[in-house]
């Protein structure tokens, strides 16, 4: 069993036995069923797990500041250095911002 799958199994069990008060035996049976289904459906794939909600919020805050600075006349290379991202990413953020309502 992969390290990721084992961590997932452990977290499922801990989540059910702790806050939900489900017995350890029942939690293990449910975790085994979930892991079996995930293993069957995702075997051989590498699913993408995106950033946590906090990281998304930080990105949104950064993007708003970047857009503000760009509208104030800052140049793309400076924005890339300031926000520690590539110039290609700056262009993508600006393109997304212009497309948003």
The answer as to whether 30 is a domain residue is: yes
Q: Find the domain containing 33 and state its range.
A: 3-42
Rg (CA), the chain: 21
Tell me: do 29 and 7 sit in the same domain.
Answer: yes
The answer as to whether 80 is a domain residue is: yes
Specify the number of domains making up the chain: 2
The answer as to whether 14 is a domain residue is: yes
In tens, the pLDDT along 55-88 reads: 889 999 999 999 999 999 999 999 999 999 999 9
Angle between helices 3-17 and 24-42 (to 10 degrees): 150
Tell me: do 31 and 57 sit in the same domain.
Answer: no
Give the three-class secondary structure for 43. Answer: coil
Comparison of pLDDT for 91 and 43, the residue scoring more = 91
pTM of the model: 0.51
Tell me: do 71 and 93 sit in the same domain.
Answer: yes
Mean predicted lDDT score pLDDT of the chain: 90
Q: Nearest Cα to 74, choosing from 65, 62, 61, 84? A: 65
């Amino acid at each position: 069993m992969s390290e990721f799958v084992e961590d997932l199994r452990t977290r499922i069990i801990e989540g059910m036995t702790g806050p939900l008060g489900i017995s350890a035996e029942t939690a293990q049976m449910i975790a085994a069923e979930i892991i079996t289904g995930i293993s069957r459906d995702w075997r051989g794939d590498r699913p993408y797990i995106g950033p946590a909600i906090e990281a998304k919020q930080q990105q949104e805050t950064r993007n708003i500041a970047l857009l503000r600075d760009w509208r104030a006349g800052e140049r793309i290379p400076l924005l890339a250095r300031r926000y520690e991202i590539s110039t290609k990413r700056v262009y993508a953020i600006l393109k997304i911002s212009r497309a948003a309502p």
